[in-house]
A and B are shown apart, each in its own frame.
Chain A
Amino acid sequence: MTVVSRQKAASPEAAVPSRRAGLSEGKKQERRLGWLLCAPAALVMVAVTAYPILYSIWLSLQRYDLKFPENREFIGLANYATVLTNNYWWTAFGVTMLITVISVAVELVLGMGLALIMHRTIIGRGLVRTSALIPYGIVTVVAAFSWRYAWTPGTGYLANLFSPEGAPLTERASALAIIIFAEIWKTTPFMALLLMAGLALVPDDLLKAASMDGASWWQRFTKVMLPVMKPAILVALLFRTLDAFRIFDNIYVLSAGANETSSVSMIAYNNLMKGLNLGIGSTMSVLIFLTVAIIAFIFVKLFGTAAPGSDDVDGRR
């Protein structure tokens, strides 16, 4: 307290309140406290992401194979040329896109249904919500093993039921279908929870007014609920799209990327761990990062998805 008052005494009452002098002692203290409290989190986040991503850009410009470390040299964009002219990369890219688009589209529909059920159900609401949280919470690898064994010939109830002769996980189309299915099972509840938060924003009176105006159930849904929920839907779509694009665990366990079922994350990982090629692996890392940035940019620009947490979201409500 003495320190504060001495500082105060040293700076006479700001007679000419410039912008700087307009900041009182309390305000400055608030700033300092704010920075102090945020600094550790900011430092960790930046140190563990910004530095490595810059480092990986640096690595991507080099020939750097851990099996032949002596051949390390700066080669400019040659790695990018290698990757971008490579069929494996484009196949993986296509597979990732396919998985992303189908799973997110299906999840949106199922998630909306689940959100409506969780929001409106008149019996067993707690039970439904609890059950729905299990796929969200369960370790992806565990769920993936469950699906894998379910589709393993002989062992699995699903394999025996649907394809007694074949081995669905060893054929490309069926393997991809199973991967997408596993992804949908795991993440629909998350989508549903985000949508449910949007549903909670739809005022009951608005729906009642719409029914009084003669709107059918479907009209109430499309004309009243969807417009109000739009921000929540877009945020959910953005999050899930970027999340689906990173798909790794399910593929690793279900097909190990065999039969051209690798995602971009899978081949980047394989290049690093199996190929020990840091240059190429880093190039892929950078390309994936760029793709994700572009997707996010498109969402924000095209749909005006407000970043969650930004004040705009609060303001709009």
Chain B
Amino acid sequence: MADIVLDKVTKKYPDGTTAVHEIDLEIADGEFIILVGPSGCGKSTTLNMIAGLEDISSGELRIAGERVNDKAPKDRDIAMVFQSYALYPNMTVGENMAFPLKLAKMPKAEIDKKVAEAAKVLELTEYLNRKPANLSGGQRQRVAMGRAIVRSPKAFLMDEPLSNLDAKLRVQMRTQVSRLQKQLNTTTVYVTHDQTEAMTLGDRVVVMRGGYIQQVGDPQTLYDNPHNLFVAGFIGSPSMNFLPATVEESKLRTPLGDLPLGDRVRRALSGADAPRQVILGIRPEHFEDARLIEEHQRAKGFEFTAPVDLVESMGSDKYVYLTVEGEHAVAADLEDLAADAGGADLPPQDNLVTRLSAESRVRDGADARVWMNLDKIHLFDPRDGHNLTLHEGQAAGVNAA
């Protein structure tokens, strides 16, 4: 077990492209940390550099206080679980799990004991003599985990280990991975492009984009206080709604109507360089059917009427898609997000996604009277995407990142 420190770690390829820009990250001993971001954000490269599978162009990587830049993967004492599982097809499950121990020249009896233990933990005992080809996806995934844990390494690296599983199995395995990590209390770096995995698994989440860290924090902080448009849009499902807005006197002019400026927002916009054009962000759950709002809450929010495009009833709540006329929010961050979601191919959405109580009686095609919580709105600067509504302490973090 060990802590891992990345000190201005950079990956530059011979063709001149830089995949990872001077990343600083301190991973505490026993911590479960998630690297998340769209494809090409540098998360896998970062993981491979920690593993020693890719060279570090500049900067320093320390594991348990020791500089390991020049150590071969085998000398770093860390285990890795691959997306493809990378099980040796010519070896049985037992031999796969025993392989790292055999290479470490461990006595046979001890190997057998360790493999048996790991197999028991992962419920693989009855499959030990099978070849990987004869296992289901979930079983293969567990063998890959088993091969990593038998060695009791200093750290686990996991490269999208669940993305080859079907949705249901993925949820099951997610809890198992989480339980296993807590049980073993081994430092774990986990790479994924799935924000749900990132939110549910990690102690802390590192959001990356284009080789830069966007924000580091525990899942709730990322969700409540995103540093910028990218993090705001990337974390959360369905994503945050973004609307163009103009600051005027004491009002915020939006396609939904003119919103009053609360103290919090007014303070955020008081800076000399504060823009007039901003992007308003609000999460789906911060809307409610106006008829279900109690009087004392009504004052905190803003009510508007919009035609209902579609209602999706989830049982516990309803997702209501409202049609909003007017312009779309435009910012580089949003384009990146759309590209990641494959949204670049879709026509621009005129929809506002809201999550209303199940008791709401809004219907397709009718107009709905909807309330939104002004306490929860975020305003972003469209020029650089940064969140204007973070209070000072949080805003300081933006500059550091």
Using a CB–CB distance below 8 Å, which chain A residues touch chain B?
A: 1, 4-5, 8, 13-15, 17, 19, 22-27
Contacts and interface: CB of A to CB of B under 8 A. Distances in A.
A4 B57 CA distance: 16
Contacts of A22: 12-14, 57
Contacts of B70: 4-5, 8, 25
A25 B55 contact: yes
Contacts of A25: 55, 70
Interface in B56-82: 56-58, 70, 72
B74 to A, nearest CB: 11
Nearest to B75: A1
Contact of B12 (A4, A17, A26): A17
Nearest to A24: B55
Contacts of B57: 14, 17, 22, 24
26 contacts: A1-B72, A4-B70, A5-B70, A8-B70, A13-B58, A14-B57, A14-B58, A15-B58, A17-B12, A17-B57, A17-B58, A19-B14, A19-B16, A22-B12, A22-B13, A22-B14, A22-B57, A23-B14, A24-B55, A24-B56, A24-B57, A25-B55, A25-B70, A26-B55, A27-B14, A27-B55
B20 to A, nearest CB: 13
Interface string B1-44: 00000000000111010000000000000000000000000000
Nearest to A19: B14
Please provide the 4 A-B residue pairs with the shortest distance between their CB atoms, ordered closest to farther: A24-B55, A26-B55, A22-B14, A8-B70
Contacts of A14: 57-58
SS class, residues of chain A in contact with chain B: loop
A4 B171 CA distance: 45
A14 B56 CA distance: 11
Contacts of B16: 19
Contacts of A8: 70
Given A22-B12, A27-B55, 19 more contacts: A1-B72, A4-B70, A13-B58, A14-B57, A14-B58, A15-B58, A17-B12, A17-B57, A17-B58, A19-B14, A22-B13, A22-B14, A23-B14, A24-B55, A24-B56, A24-B57, A25-B70, A26-B55, A27-B14
B64 to A, nearest CB: 19
A24 B70 CA distance: 10
Contacts of A17: 12, 57-58
A23 B55 CA distance: 9
A35 B57 CA distance: 23
A24 B10 CA distance: 13
A13 B67 CA distance: 13
A19 to B, nearest CB: 7
B272 to A, nearest CB: 38
Contacts of B56: 24
A13 to B, nearest CB: 6
Interface in B73-105: none
B145 to A, nearest CB: 28
B187 to A, nearest CB: 24
Nearest to B53: A26
Nearest to A13: B58
Point out which of B55, B56, B70, B72 has the most chain A C-beta atoms below 10 A from its C-beta: B70
Contacts of B55: 24-27
A307 to B, nearest CB: 23
A15 B58 CA distance: 7
A25 to B, nearest CB: 7
A30 to B, nearest CB: 10
B211 to A, nearest CB: 14
Between A8, A15, A22, A27, the greatest number of chain B beta carbons within 10 A of the residue's beta carbon is seen for A22
A28 to B, nearest CB: 10
A172 B143 CA distance: 70
Nearest to A21: B57
B140 to A, nearest CB: 26
B76 to A, nearest CB: 13
Nearest to B13: A22
A96 B187 CA distance: 71
A7 to B, nearest CB: 10
B8 to A, nearest CB: 11
Nearest to B57: A17
Nearest to A20: B14
A142 B196 CA distance: 68
Contacts of B14: 19, 22-23, 27
Interface in B181-235: none
B34 to A, nearest CB: 27
A27 B57 CA distance: 11
A73 to B, nearest CB: 53
A215 to B, nearest CB: 28
Nearest to B52: A26
A74 to B, nearest CB: 48
Nearest to B70: A8
Contacts of A1: 72
A20 to B, nearest CB: 9
Contacts of B13: 22
A22 B12 CA distance: 7
A23 B57 CA distance: 8
Contacts of A15: 58
Nearest to A8: B70
A5 B55 CA distance: 14
B56 to A, nearest CB: 8
Contacts of B72: 1
B60 to A, nearest CB: 8
Contacts of A4: 70
A24 B13 CA distance: 10
A26 to B, nearest CB: 5
A14 B58 CA distance: 7
B339 to A, nearest CB: 22
